[in-house]
Structure 1
Amino acid sequence: MTETARTNTRDIARAAVRAQLAQVAFELFHREGFDKVTLDDLAAAAGVSRSTFLRYFGTKEDAVLAAFDGHDRRLADALRARPSGEDDWTALRRALDTVIERYHQDPAAALATTRLVRETPALCARHLEKQHGWRPALAEALAERAGSADSADSPTLGQSVRAAAALDCLNVALDHWLASDGRLDLVDLLDEAFAALAPR
């Protein structure tokens, strides 16, 4: 077996263990309440030592918010892949389809995750902080779409504002979707949120 193959196998195994630990954590948080569960509880429920759990997740919040890892990269890549003639606002809306894809794949699990994050102050604050970090990646992708050779290094104020507004539209749509207990269509809500800020 080559070193590359060993590395890939190790990465796959690590990702599988990480996903399993996250699932155990989510089930325990859902059943007991996020604030009542300790790191020791999580380790015991997963059948691993506390130190093993901490090798995969540094905090309780990380065990939940890992589900959102890589969203900034996927969003930026999707944005860059949009047709060049498409306006920024439409391109941002279409790029967000990559984020809400999982809501279609497993609506019940997505609703439960959204509820846990939104209704737990520590998780909500960390998630918003994480999302704040997505904005530069989106603004840079918008700058690249504009075609200026050095624009990716310095997005304009307008590009940064549009990136921030797009993420706010996503959050408002998610809040309305959660308030409806998943009965409303998230795609329709996101479309409506974007339409409210669309250039007239």
Structure 2
Amino acid sequence: MGIEDGLWSRSRRAAYAEITQVAMRLFLDQGFAATTIDQIAAAAGISRRSFFRYFGTKEDIVLGDLAVQGELVRDALEAVPLTVPPWDALQEALWKVEGLVGDDETMLKIATMMYETPSLRARSIEKHLQWQRLLVPNVRRRLGSDPTDADDVAADAIVASAIACLDAAGAVWARNGGAADLKELYRRAVESVRS
């Protein structure tokens, strides 16, 4: 990588972060549906066309990091010894990833917006399906299965259930104004699925 490549990459990341910050402020102030791409572009000092160089949709601003977080959860799961059972290993990996647990006030606003906006919910589910593809091979190894066995449903079911538990815990947490501990809600959701 040359100096120019590094500078271009840093400039792109800085612009991405700035547009995201401007957009999130607008979303949280006036609501996701009420905020237009044109408003975001104007507030960020860019053209509509430039906006689409960074984001495919408004939803990607809110959930863009979700795909990256899936890779971080996978990496955290890989770091958990294979002797740790799948459910415990998934829980450990989920809570190691920064961004899944953060500033409660901001997280609550974003979670409430996401759970109340159908397009954000749909996009979130898409991203979680990507997580499932990333996590299943490790869980297959934990179960003693062949990581490439496409007919082994057990690992898929465990990972899908763990992600659904995270989603259910997040929905309850947002609905109750963040009054309960998110990790405890997740633990209870997992416990109810496993019983």
Q: Say yes or no: TM over 0.5.
A: yes
* Structure 2 unaligned residues grouped into runs of 5+: none
Distance 1:144 1:15, change over 3 A: farther
| RMSD across aligned positions (CA) | 1.9
1:73 aligns with 2:68: no
Deviations 1:41-72 (A, max 9, x none): 11001111111111001111111111323122
| TM-score (norm. length: structure 1) | 0.88
Q: What corresponds to 1:138 in structure 2? A: 135
- Rounded to whole Å, the distance in 2 between the matches of 1:110 and 1:53 is 24
Deviations 1:48-101 (A, max 9, x none): 1111111001111111111323122111111111122111111111111134x4
1:127 aligns with 2:124: yes
Identity between Structure 1 and Structure 2 (%): 35
Deviations 1:156-195 (A, max 9, x none): 2100000100001101111111122112111111111122
1:152 aligns with 2:147: yes
8 Å CA contact 1:80–1:144 kept in 2: the answer is no
- Rounded to whole Å, the distance in 1 between the matches of 2:90 and 2:48 is 41
Shift of 1:27: 1.3
Q: What corresponds to 1:185 in structure 2? A: 181
8 Å CA contact 2:67–2:130 kept in 1: the answer is no
The letter of the residue matching 1:85 is T
- Rounded to whole Å, the distance in 1 between the matches of 2:21 and 2:64 is 11
Specify which of 172, 185, 188 is matched with residue 168 of structure 2. 172
Shift of 1:143: 2.4
Specify which of 94, 107, 111 is matched with residue 108 of structure 2. 111
Specify which of 32, 42, 48 is matched with residue 34 of structure 1. 32
Specify which of 61, 69, 87 is matched with residue 59 of structure 2. 61
The letter of the residue matching 2:149 is S
- Rounded to whole Å, the distance in 2 between the matches of 1:147 and 1:75 is 21
Specify which of 64, 88, 103 is matched with residue 90 of structure 1. 88
The letter of the residue matching 1:152 is P
The letter of the residue matching 2:181 is D
Shift of 1:147: 6.0
- Rounded to whole Å, the distance in 2 between the matches of 1:120 and 1:131 is 17
- Rounded to whole Å, the distance in 2 between the matches of 1:49 and 1:194 is 45
The letter of the residue matching 2:55 is F
- Rounded to whole Å, the distance in 1 between the matches of 2:176 and 2:35 is 28
Q: What corresponds to 1:47 in structure 2? A: 45
| TM-score (norm. length: structure 2) | 0.90
- Rounded to whole Å, the distance in 1 between the matches of 2:75 and 2:13 is 22
- Rounded to whole Å, the distance in 2 between the matches of 1:137 and 1:14 is 27
The letter of the residue matching 1:88 is P
Number of residue pairs aligned between Structure 1 and Structure 2: 194
Specify which of 161, 164, 172 is matched with residue 157 of structure 2. 161
- Rounded to whole Å, the distance in 1 between the matches of 2:34 and 2:99 is 28
